[in-house]
Structures are given as C-alpha cells and as structure tokens.
Amino acid sequence: MSVQIAISGVSGRMGRALLEAVAADAECALCAAIDRPGSPLAGQDAGAAWGAATGVRVTDQPASALQGAHALIDFTRPDATFDYLDACVAAGVPLVIGTTGFDEAGRARIAAAAGKIPVVFAPNMSVGVNLLMKLAELAAQVLADGYDVEIVEAHHRHKVDAPSGTALGLGQAVARALGRDLADCAVYGREGATGERDPRTIGFATVRGGDIVGDHTLMFAGIGERIELTHKASSRATFAQGALRAARWLQGRAPGLYDMRDVLNLN
C-alpha cells in the first residue's frame, strides 16, 4: 500500500519539488495538496503549474485535507507551520517539518506537539547534508585543539532567514562535540576592529544571491593546514527525496520528536 502524502505550501519552490518527487516515487501517492488561505491555486489540479495532472486539487482547508493522510510534509514558514502542526495533532497525522527560522519558543511548541504525534523536524532533509552533520561531529572530536571553526553558507536571494538552519545545525553539531554551547560561542558577523579571533568561537558567514539552492562549507583552520567539509545542492529534489524518506520512516512510529539522524540511523 502506498504511503498517502499530504503536501503544504504547494505554490512554493519546495512545494513543487515535493509534488514532483511524490509523482516519481512508487512507494508514495499524493492525497492532499494544501496552500495558504485564499490561494489563487485553490480548486486547481496540483500539477497544473507544470502541465502534469495529479488528480488532486489544491485546497486551503488543511483540516479536511488531512483526512486519510499518512503524513504531511511542510516546507513553508514558521507561522504557517504552526497552523499545520495544530491540524496534524487534531487529525493524528505524522508530520515532516523542513521549515527553518524557528526561535526557541517555536521549537518548544513543536516538541510539545511531538508528545502527541510523531514528528521529524530537521534543518535540512538532504541525506548528504545529514551525513555531513555526522562527519562534522567526528572531525570536531579529532580536531578539538588548535583549529578554528568557521561555517560559510550560500543561498538564493529569496531566502528569508540567516544563517541557514543547516549552518546552525552544523554549528550545533560541532559545539556538542566540543562540549560548548553554541549560544555562547557563535559569532555571526565581523566588521571593523574586531581584535584577534577567540579560539573558542564558531564563526558564521552568509551569502545571498541569484538562484543558489544551498552551499555549506565547514572549515577547520589550523596552523599549516585547513580541513574543509562541503556540501553543494544543485536541485531541491534532494531535499524532497529526503523528506519522502522521512515520511515513509514515520509510518508506525510512536509519538516523539525525531530528526534525520534517526531516519538515517546515524545516532
């Protein structure tokens, strides 16, 4: 039996990538396509944007759309995600959250909802990026002394949060491995007479421009050598495929807050 997938934010770039991924996945089927209230797409076939009929019409009513769904995949914005989160709790539907930009209170709200339904919440759904996160921990453990840690990320001009959730996730992975608190050691910008670099800091640099899907480089800069771990995404399809993998993995899971490390057995 196919996993019945509901997708929110279908008018967005990731929404379309998810629709295309479901159409190409033999183990999944699209059961609902949801967009923002008052969406001009409401009532249209979800595949109309690229001329491929899906047989599923776009709706702006998530409560009714989730009936019969095995999982909802959400890559929207935090305020919209909370609406979908509440709808999933009410319907008892597992949720995959790829949205980024949540503050501490938002993350706590997701964690509370995960006490009632299973939720996969990850800053990046790419299999490659999550492997990079694991490698970041290993590298930090080996390079604990004498290496300065810097993270450089680049995304398209439309991205609204910075640093990216993935960059922050890399920083958190390194900080955990080094026994540090990222909130205390992160440096998000440098300008003017900053003085010498504090060796305990983790630096972030952000680039925004054009149609860059997502580039991340984690740098360990020592004396006489530099180790760089890099992931470059050339298509949103990689995030969509990872999200579908997470949705399939959620089937039969107990309520709880999971991430892609759980999905990929990287813990």
Contacts of 184 (CB under 8 A, 6+ apart): none
β-strand pairing of 148-155 with 214-221: antiparallel
The DSSP symbol for 11 reads T
Give yes or no for a contact between 69 and 5, defined as CB atoms under 8 angstroms apart. yes
For residue 231, indicate whether it is catalytic. no
Sign of CA dihedral 91, 93, 97, 99: negative
Active-site pick, 159, 216, 231, 232: 159
Give yes or no for a contact between 107 and 245, defined as CB atoms under 8 angstroms apart. no
For residue 156, indicate whether it is catalytic. no
Which residue is associated with the tokens 């807050």? 257
Active-site pick, 70, 155, 216, 231: 155
Phi, psi of 153, deg, nearest 5: -130, 150
Q: Catalytic site residues?
A: 155, 159
